[in-house]
Amino acid sequence: MHTWRKAATRNESPIALTIGNFDGVHLGHQAILARLKEAARTLDLSAHVMTFEPHPREFFAPDQAPARLTSLREKMKYLRKADVDGIHICRFNFDFARISPEQFITRILKQELAVRWLLIGDDFRFGARRAGDVELLQSLSAANQFEVEVMPSITIDNHRVSSTAIREALASGNLAAARKLLGRHYSISGRVVDGDKLGKQIGFPTANIQLKYFRPALSGIFVVAVHGAIASSPATVLPGVASLGVRPTVQENGKPILEVHLFDFNDEIYGQHLQVDFLHKLRDEEKYAHIDTLVSQIEKDVNAAKDFFNSTRDNFCEPCTAF
């Protein structure tokens, strides 16, 4: 599989292509990727994906952009698991935003990428000012030597699977609903970075996970399962409790921080890349008048998380077989 970090590269052979932000790579996205590969095999084409970085709404209005479900690294991980032949990461900037829909079709899809079959969602918009739509693509496809197929929305329990619906579920703490739409536990991945050591000082050492995106899609105190903490055993998954928020008890106007306390674990893991699966929300973040009150609440959170693992029927240590 090849990855290109530019809008397009001149392909030697014609391709089948799908285009989208693919934030979260949820079950709707997975259905698109499956259909893409199926058509590519039938037509003897290679299967390619075009996505964008940053998200267009982050570029135009970062303060109003939706919370990200996945960083670029996480999105690429899930797209690679889909086993496509190529991924084109379009750097979304002013030059790209000024491309007219017609230029996008003729210059990028036809001349650069040699698209012969294109799969898009039923709400797909493209080009400057989002002026391009499904109807325009279909009207110009024959002249530009490609076929267009429109993928209908995927629904679960009569609800459309979308990144927006997942964000809403996460914001409300409904991890079960998010999991149903994603086809897996919601997770955040990142490198362990140095922190202020407060957790260690109060008896609950934490791994501080670097957050790459503008703001997380959820906040609060959670039961979590962590991948990657034991370098010699990458498949081992460890139980823990995590805080994702601004830590109002210890700082004012703080940035969101993901801190994970792993049970009975004291190894030094600075620099390691962890995946944190969010299994269950315990409570919202709170501000306490005294550190002692915070410590007492953390003890309750740890005990509640351990009770969750003791009572759940799910085997959280099983590797995730879905995306």
CATH code of 272's domain: 2.40.30.30
Q: Is residue 163 part of a domain?
A: no
Do 256 and 130 sit in the same domain of this protein? no
At 185 the pLDDT is 97
Do 24 and 105 sit in the same domain of this protein? yes
At 320 the pLDDT is 42
Hey, what are 36's tokens?
């893409």
Do 255 and 148 sit in the same domain of this protein? no
Render 141-205 in DSSP notation, one character per residue: HGGGT-EEEEEPPPEETTEE--HHHHHHHHHTT-HHHHHHHHTS-EEEEEEEE----HHHHTT--
Tell me the residue range of the domain where 190 lies: 186-311
pTM here? 0.90
Q: 32 near 12, Cβ under 8 Å? A: no
At 321 the pLDDT is 38
Mark the ranges of the chain whose per-residue pLDDT is less than 70. 1-11, 197, 199, 214, 253, 313-323
Do 60 and 11 sit in the same domain of this protein? yes
Q: 258 near 220, Cβ under 8 Å? A: no
Reported as a single tens digit per residue, the pLDDT across 294-309 is 899 999 999 999 999 9
Q: How many domains does the chain have?
A: 2
At 4 the pLDDT is 61
At 10 the pLDDT is 64
CATH code of 46's domain: 3.40.50.620
Q: Which of 156, 171, 196 is the last residue of a domain?
A: 156
At 6 the pLDDT is 57
Do 138 and 267 sit in the same domain of this protein? no
At 266 the pLDDT is 86
Do 9 and 122 sit in the same domain of this protein? yes
**How many CA atoms within 13 Å lie on the side-chain side of 58?**
15
